[in-house]
Amino acid sequence: MSLDAFFREVAPMLWQGRAAAAVTEAIGPSPSGDAALGFYGVLVARNLEKILREVFPSLKALAMQEGSARWTDLVRDFARAHPPRGRDPNGFGLALPAYLSGRSDVPRFWVEIADFHLAQVHVYHAPEPTGGDGFEGRILVRSYEHAVVQIVDALAHEPMRPPSLGAPCVVVIYRHARTGRARVLSPHAAQVAALARRQGLELPSVLAALEPSVIDAAEQALVAAGVLLEARDQENFACYDRSSTGP
């Protein structure tokens, strides 16, 4: 039996709950027995659950409010729909926001929570920008229908208390230009204008009406907060070593 054929038989046991007996019937008996072979599926399931709970802690809290089975079923169903295929274990959760969005039994704010957590991972691991500030890499700007940041903070303190959903918000999720840590900022109007201007985007009329000096000041505040880069930082950013920092 080729290695490819072996994995074709074993993979459904690891990701989709196939019985070990069906595997040994196809590839031959295991010296350790079916029970020991089947335990590999248990270990994989535990590791996949660990990945999702660490990358999406608020999502787990929300699911657990409905009972532990809700979280267990969610992890199992997602793993079966999107089994991991990449070398980076965190890549297992990349499709989770889109997957949740396609489920009728998942509230919209759960999808936004999942997107927010994934964005935090994305900005931290994004490559250093080779030009500009690193938009869509170390900087992501999100518009949410619910108060996502406040929901996440509330769940971190009281995971079993249903959160207030709040109002729509704009959030900047970014890797700090100097500390290298993932950070979140809720920008005011002038800062939104500064971010758009920095990307060369046309400002909507409500933002274009702001005084240029106000937008300039907002841009400098974003530089001070580690969101945007100074001109000299844009040239030298690739030399920055953040190997000792964490999210």
134 CB contacts (<8 Å, ≥6 apart)? 126, 128, 175, 229, 237
φ/ψ (deg, to 5) at 28: 110, 165
Q: Which helix (H) or strand (E) holds 120?
A: helix 108-125
pLDDT tops 60 at residue 31: yes
In a domain, 104, yes or no: no
Task: Identify the three-state secondary structure at position 210.
Answer: coil
> For residue range 222-244, what is the model confidence (pLDDT) as tens digits?
999 999 998 645 544 444 444 44
In a domain, 138, yes or no: yes
The number of distinct structural domains making up the chain is: 1
% of the chain surpassing 70 pLDDT: 91
182-185 and 139-144 strand pairing: unpaired
Q: Average the pLDDT over 152-165 and give the result.
A: 96
What is the distance between the alpha carbons of residues 152 and 138, in angstroms, rounded to a whole number? 21
Structure tokens at 25: 């019937």
> For residue range 116-145, what is the model confidence (pLDDT) as tens digits?
999 999 999 999 998 899 999 999 999 999
Q: Average the pLDDT over 33-57 and give the result.
A: 89
Choose from 21-25, 128-132, 159-163, 231-235 the range with maximum mean pLDDT.
159-163
Residue 231: its pLDDT value, please?
63
> For residue range 170-196, what is the model confidence (pLDDT) as tens digits?
999 999 999 999 999 999 999 999 999
- Work out the mean pLDDT of the chain and round it to a whole number: 89
In a domain, 87, yes or no: no
**Domain range for residue 135?**
114-247
Q: Is 88 left (phi over 0), alpha (psi -120 to 50) or beta?
A: beta
Task: Identify the three-state secondary structure at position 113.
Answer: helix
pLDDT tops 70 at residue 11: yes
Task: Identify the three-state secondary structure at position 30.
Answer: coil
In a domain, 68, yes or no: no
In a domain, 192, yes or no: yes
In a domain, 4, yes or no: no
Residue 35: its pLDDT value, please?
87
What's the Cα-to-Cα distance from 93 to each of 54, 75, 152, rounded to whole Å? 10, 10, 18
